[in-house]
Amino acid sequence: MTTQNTETNKDRVFIFDTTLRDGEQSPGATMTLEEKLQVAEALDDMGVDIIEAGFPIASNGDFEAVVAVAKQVKSATVAGLARAITADIDRAGEAVRHARRGRIHTFVSTSPIHLAHQMKKTEDEVIEIIARTVAQARNLIDDVEWSAMDATRTPIEFLKRCVETALKAGATTINLPDTVGYAVPDEHEAMFREIIASVPGADGAIFSAHCHNDLGLAVANSLAAVRGGARQVECTINGLGERAGNAALEEIVMSLRTRADAMPYHTHIEATHLARASRIVAAAANFPVQYNKAIVGKNAFAHESGIHQDGMLKNAQTYEIMTPASVGIKETTLVMGKHSGRAAFKDKLRELGYELGENAFQEAFQRFKDLADRKKHVYDADIVALVDDEVGSVGDRIRLVDMEVVSKTGGIHRCDLTLSVDGEEVAVSFEGTGSVDAIFNAIKKAVGQDPHLVLYAVDAVTGGTDAQASAHVRLELNGRIVSGNAAEPDTLVASARAYLNACNRLMIERGAAAQGAMAG
């Protein structure tokens, strides 16, 4: 089998995307199988080298998702995560064997605090575990990645022993993750440089950086690791990930591309796909992208300052170091109306980066026609919101059938609601302190759940009083956090559908047998 380590170009950086594994560990970011497949397809199309599809031992659902991604992906290597446990490694091997190129990614803790309080093992015992489990993985597949969990808080001499052991046992990629986001760039670069220079056999492997963003340094540390000799970076779309998130793939890629003078390295990512991948992941994970997010945020290429606007009109390079088009962002344009036909709509979807199956296309087209009847102008951004909303609600067990809201200043606020719950219609009425309060309480009464509302936010997709409202809801129930999104011209309907989207996610069964012991 050909592995990633046959690359002869020393300046190439492999992009290892872990959105489907580490990214999905963000509270509320659970994705359905269909959503995971859509994300995987976008990553593959973009040129991601390795897609970490999940943690196969965690649950049957995770195993089936890794298998499905492995079968679908055409170009990228598909990796499955495994703890340094025999059953984990066997399960990961079984899942990724369906891929054209598969990888087992196994890990073990190495820092003193982890060994003392989590592993309860001595250094010698950890060395034995590494030798045995890496060899087991290598017997199953040629491409094996080994990670030293909490590497940046591990004494350098012990870390060297661990890396040498993993290499001798057959590891082809060595990952030294900054698991808790503790490192700073100079020391991170120095760690990679010393390990690569002093460990026997290191020149025959690819070294990898996996940085968390607890101090806001994930991207800086990842780039420092590349300067120190790492040639794989582990990252996620939009920086999605547990706690403060992971290094953002789009920031890594565009930093290397924009500052090739200072960092003479390159990736094989097609950068014009970045904005589309960002939208797909935001919709699938129900995690909106912050406005000022670098590269893909709504304001990333917006200029309000008079001085900036003057400079932009004279020469865009005065205040833009890259163009919106270079990452796949185009200005919101007026595109279509209620008289537009199927062929024109399909062409527009293709232009925006969407390829829908026939059923999904028909549903999207009908929603577009409905929107065009209600909204004076339909923009590209409206169609993006419409399609992403449709994708996010596929397979919903609870759907909105009808809703009437009565609201009076200083008076009553009541919601009369009809839902379809598993095909059965349920009608309820509820009064609240405001319109949204009445709607949300009516839904809780209808579905028989009483989750805690963690977050509720509404944003306009485009300008104008007839703009679609994009509503975002985050709920917590029994320690589990889920998110829901919806877009509608009517703000109250958007709010109701977002709340229902989150309720549907609460109903998705997911095992968590091995959650909480994740690498990175």
Binding residues for Mn(2+): 22, 210, 212, 246
Rounded Cα distance between 95 and 82, Å, is 11
Q: Would you state the structure tokens that stand for residue 481, as one six-digit string?
A: 């956090």
Rounded Cα distance between 503 and 505, Å, is 5
Q: What are phi and psi of 453, to 5 degrees?
A: -80, 110
Q: Would you state the structure tokens that stand for residue 216, as one six-digit string?
A: 């806001």
Report the Cα 13 to chain-centroid distance in Å.
20
Q: Would you state the structure tokens that stand for residue 168, as one six-digit string?
A: 């001798």
Closest CA to 77 of 51, 55, 109, 46: 51
DSSP letter, residue 432: -
What are 145's strand-pairing partners?
Answer: 105, 173
Q: Are 335 and 348 in contact (CB under 8 A)?
A: yes
Question: Residue 511 corresponds to which amino acid?
Answer: G
Rounded Cα distance between 198 and 379, Å, is 57
Q: What are phi and psi of 495, to 5 degrees?
A: -65, -45
Residue 359 C-beta-side C-alpha neighbours within 13 Å: 2
Q: Are 280 and 274 in contact (CB under 8 A)?
A: no
Residue 243 region by backbone torsions, left for phi larger than 0, else alpha for psi between -120 and 50, else beta: left
Measured in Å, how far apart are the chain's first and last C-alpha atoms?
27
Q: Are 454 and 476 in contact (CB under 8 A)?
A: yes
Specify the 3-state DSSP secondary structure of 416.
strand
Alpha-carbon distances, residue 42 vs 125, 219, 295, 325, 365 (angstroms)? 41, 22, 17, 18, 22
Binding site: what residues are annotated?
22, 210, 212, 246
